[in-house]
C-alpha cells in the first residue's frame, strides 16, 4: 500500500531514470488503486512472459500475434475509466489504454531480447520495436506516412520515462475532469509536479491548471497563489498574460510577481 508522500517521492526518483517505463507504469497503477501490490503485477507479467517463451515467441511479429491472441487491444474505442490506466487490470483482462499496452509490449519485447521504446506521438501513443513503428491498439506495424498529417521526426521521438508518467497521469486526470472532481484533479497534478521536477514550463502549466481547480472550489486565495506561481516561472507570454488576468479578476488588483 502506497501513501501519497511515498508516491510523490517515488515519482520524482523514477522520472530521473532511463528505461524505467515499467516502474513508472506501476506507480501510476498505485494512484488508481492504493492497495495494489507491485509484486502481484510483476508475477502476472512473469506468467505472461513464460507463456510467450513456451510458445516460441522470439521476433516482433510473433510478439504482436501473441498479444492479439491474448486479447490485448482489439481496436480500442470505448470510454476510458480509471481501471484502463492500470497495468494489473490490463494483465488480468487485456483492456487498457494504448499507452498501457505499449508499456506491456515494451517490457515484454525487452525480456525477449528485442529493442523497444515508446514514441511520444500526440493523441495516440505509439512504440517502436526493432526499428518498426507499432500501433499498440491494432497491434500492427504501421508506416509513419499512414499517420495523420505526415508527422515530422520530432513527433516520432522517443518518449522518456518522465513523459510516459505525465501522459499516463493525464489520462487519469481527464477522468476526474469529466466528473468535475476538482480535489482529485489537484491530487493528480501533485504527482505530475513531482515528475516534472525542474521543467519550468510544465510546472507553469500545472500551476495554471491548479489555479483553475481552486477557482472551481471557490478558494480564491489558493487560486491566486497558483496563478502567481505560474507567472513567476513561465516563459510563455500568453500563459503568463492569462494568469495575470485571472489574478486581477480574482483580487481586483493588477498581478505583481516579486
pLDDT of the residue at 149: 63
Phi and psi (nearest 5°) for 59? -105, 175
Mean pLDDT over residues 173-186, rounded?
97
Share of residues in the chain with pLDDT > 90 (%): 81
Gap between the terminal Cα atoms of the chain: 41
pLDDT of residue 76 exceeding 90: no
DSSP secondary structure of 199-216: -HHHHHHHHHHHHHHHHH
Pair 156, 118: CB distance under 8 Å: no
> What is the pLDDT of the chain when averaged over all its residues?
92
pLDDT tens sequence across 125-178: 999 999 999 999 899 999 888 887 656 666 678 999 999 999 999 999 999 999
N residues, the chain: 258
Model confidence band, residue 254 (pLDDT cutoffs 50, 70, 90)? low
DSSP helix/strand/coil, 132: strand
Q: What pLDDT is stored for residue 144 in this prediction?
A: 84
User: How would DSSP label each residue in 37-92?
Assistant: -HHHHHHHHHHHHHHHHHTT--SHHHHHHHHHHTT--SS--S---GGGG-HHHHHH
Express each pLDDT in 222-250 by its tens digit: 999 999 999 999 999 999 999 999 999 99
Mean pLDDT value of segment 20-38 = 94
Amino acid at each position: 500500500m502506497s501513501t501519497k508522500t511515498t508516491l510523490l517521492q517515488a515519482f520524482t526518483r523514477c522520472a530521473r531514470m532511463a528505461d524505467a517505463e515499467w516502474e513508472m507504469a506501476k506507480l501510476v497503477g498505485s494512484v488508481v488503486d492504493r492497495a495494489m501490490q507491485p509484486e502481484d503485477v510483476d508475477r502476472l507479467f512473469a506468467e505472461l512472459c513464460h507463456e510467450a517463451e513456451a510458445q516460441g515467441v522470439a521476433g516482433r511479429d510473433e510478439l504482436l500475434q501473441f498479444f492479439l491472441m491474448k486479447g490485448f487491444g482489439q481496436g480500442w474505442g470505448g470510454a476510458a475509466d480509471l481501471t484502463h490506466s492500470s497495468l494489473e487490470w490490463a494483465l488480468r483482462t487485456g483492456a487498457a489504454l494504448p499507452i498501457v499496452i505499449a508499456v506491456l509490449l515494451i517490457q515484454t519485447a525487452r525480456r525477449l531480447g528485442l529493442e523497444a521504446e515508446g514514441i511520444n506521438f500526440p493523441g495516440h501513443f505509439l512504440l517502436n520495436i526493432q526499428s518498426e513503428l507499432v500501433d499498440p491498439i491494432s497491434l500492427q506495424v504501421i508506416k509513419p506516412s499512414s499517420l495523420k498529417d505526415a508527422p515530422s521526426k520530432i513527433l516520432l521521438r522517443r518518449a522518456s520515462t518522465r513523459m510516459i508518467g505525465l501522459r499516463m497521469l493525464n489520462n487519469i486526470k481527464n477522468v476526474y475532469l469529466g466528473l468535475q472532481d476538482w480535489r482529485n484533479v489537484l491530487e493528480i497534478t501533485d504527482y505530475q509536479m513531482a515528475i516534472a521536477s525542474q521543467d519550468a514550463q510544465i510546472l507553469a502549466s500545472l500551476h495554471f491548471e491548479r489555479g483553475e481547480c481552486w477557482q472551481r472550489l471557490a478558494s480564491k486565495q489558493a487560486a491566486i497563489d497558483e496563478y502567481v506561481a505560474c507567472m513567476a516561472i513561465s516563459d510563455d507570454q500568453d500563459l503568463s498574460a492569462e494568469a495575470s488576468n485571472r489574478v486581477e479578476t480574482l483580487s481586483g488588483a493588477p498581478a505583481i510577481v516579486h
